[in-house]
Structure 1
Amino acid sequence: MSDTYSDGMTVRRAVLGDEHVDRAIARTDGFTADFQDLITRYAWGEIWTRDGLDRRTRSCITLSILAALGHENELAMHVKAALRNGLTRDEIKEVLLQVAIYAGVPAANTAFAVAQRVLADIPDAP
């Protein structure tokens, strides 16, 4: 196992949580194995491990992009990750308000609905 893969798996677990990563790994088969390796090495091992931005900032950027592109499933996952990376409900709200101005109200409307559902399941989140 390469250092990039190991580092990526460490960050992936820290940001997304063991439960999520374990489910993804359990669903991996011959068709998806290369993709799981790719995202672990490149997204998590090359990008999320870089020193240039902290994880809170990376979460803000990720939420913005996923909301703007309408990737609801990934957005839900990264709302949870943003909380794990130290963002508060109010900071997530501010990110989505920013999305409304720069990516459009419909994108933000959908993102707010996704985040509201996720946050309702985590009542003790700050």
Structure 2
Amino acid sequence: MRTHFRSTPPSLVEAARIDGASSGTVLFRVLLPLARPSLMTLGVLVFMWSWNQFPLVLVLIQDASMRTAPAGLGFFVGQNSTDVPTLAAGTIIVMLPITVVYLLFRRSFVAGLLQGAMKG
């Protein structure tokens, strides 16, 4: 996000200021619409990070009914190490939400990643 906002041309902010825009107006009507792909990328990455919180859930949550899906799959593997079809089905169920989120936002995700990579 820092790279995106640092690469935003200052002339856009100056033009908005000359037109009489306040700081909030510059943020919400000029800067945030330009940052949409970067914000989408950040949202997808935060979702993936929070979905895959295996060690934290493993340590902090002792109640089996409160575990997240990846932590539940980890305990399921320990209990059913020989039932491969059931383990494969559980793995697909755990991977499905991240795959769906990525497929829905893939254009914005790639655009947001490339926005900070360009120098100029």
Note whether the superposition's TM-score is higher than 0.5. Answer: no
The higher relative CO (CA closer than 8 Å, separation ≥ 6) is in 2
| TM-score normalised by length of structure 1 | 0.28
